[in-house]
Each structure stands twice: as structure tokens, then as C-alpha cells.
Amino acid sequence: MTTGPSRGRRTLLFGGVAASAAAGGLGWAWWHEQQAARFAAQTGGVWDLRFPQPGGGELVMQSLRGRPLVLNFWATWCPPCVKEMPDLDRFQRQFARQGWQVVGLAVDAPTPVREFLARTPVSYPVGLAGLDGTSLSRRLGNEGGGLPFTVVFNAAGRVVQRKLGEASLEQMQLWAALV
């Protein structure tokens, strides 16, 4: 039979174990939150964003998580942007079966984008990022804010490639082989 002092030690022991478990749980929660914040900082918070689309509807970036992504910032008034669009379109058609998705984010006004895409349609979705697109591209590593700017995400949602300036189909094919 247990006497009073032993029961007190046992209570202290169980209390210490419970406190340690609680501290461990809080530590894990803090670490997990730090990892999530670090991930959001590395990805510019892109997965939480939504963009209106030129033809109506909304481009929900969260819906693209889990697949490799080529995110291209462009504008109708940017000659290298316009020049690389056929290669982006070819890449989309060529690699869609392998899970790849190309997304264009127009750093432009809605009317010129709609008019441009009516003349030059593409097979990948386009979101209207407007001037906010410049700040997003900066958060993704485009320090100067230049266009075109392309960011490649792997299926885990991590940035694996950045390219300021025109990207060729050959470069995109190489990125796909490396991811």
C-alpha cells in the first residue's frame, strides 16, 4: 500500500511528465508555425492568392498546389514577354500530361490583356495581377521588378528556378527534366 509521501512524489512525477509533454507540444506547434511562415516567405504567399481572369472567373492558386508550376509574369507592352508566349504555350501543351501547369500573371490593365488574348490566345490560364503583380514578383526574387519574369515551382510548392528575361522552350524543357 502506498503512503502519503510516495503518492505526492508520484503526483509530482506525473505532473512533470504532463508539463514536459505540453511544452513539447507547444514547441512542435511553434516550430511548425515557423516552418509554414518560412515556406510562405519563400513562395511569396502565392498559394493563398486569387486573380480575376480576363475572360471571367477566378484563378485560385491553391488549386494548382501539388503539381509543378511555371509562373510567368508578363505584360502586353513588353516585347520579350510577347515573344516568349508561344514557347510557354508549347511547353504547356507538351508537358500537361506530366502534371505541369503554366500560369501567366499579367502585370497590366484588364482591357489590353483581353484584347491581346483575343488576338493571341494561349492554352494556359492567365490571371490579372495588375500592378500588384510587380510586388509579388519581387517577393519571389525579382529584385528589379523587370519583365518577363518566370518562377518554377516543384510539386511540393517550392521555388526551384527563377529567370528574369525571355525564357525559351529549351530552357523550360531543361527545368522540367531537373524537377
pLDDT per residue of the chain (179 residues) written in tens, 0 to 9 = 555 567 777 766 666 666 666 555 554 343 334 333 343 445 779 999 999 999 999 999 999 999 999 999 999 999 999 999 999 999 999 999 999 999 999 999 999 999 999 999 999 999 999 999 999 999 999 999 999 999 999 999 999 999 999 999 999 999 999 98
State the burial class of residue 20 (Cβ atoms within 10 Å of its Cβ: 0-12, 13-18, 19+): exposed
pLDDT at 31: 34
The residue among 140, 128, 144, 122 whose CA lies nearest residue 75 is 128
pLDDT, position 7? 72
- Residue 38: what pLDDT? 41
CA distance 73 to 132: 11
Phi, psi of 20 (to 5 degrees): -65, -40
Q: For the whole prediction, is pTM greater than 0.95?
A: no
What secondary structure does DSSP assign to the chain, as a single string? Answer: ---HHHHHHHHHHHHHHHHHHHHHHHHHHHHHHHHHHHHHHHTTTGGG-EEE-TTSSEEEGGGGTTS-EEEEEE-TT-HHHHHHHHHHHHHHHHHGGGT-EEEEEE-S-HHHHHHHHHHS--SS-EEE-TTHHHHHHHHTT-TT--SSEEEEE-TTS-EEEEEESPPPHHHHHHHHHH-
Q: 46-178 — its CATH code?
A: 3.40.30.10
Annotated domain spans of the chain: 1-42, 46-178
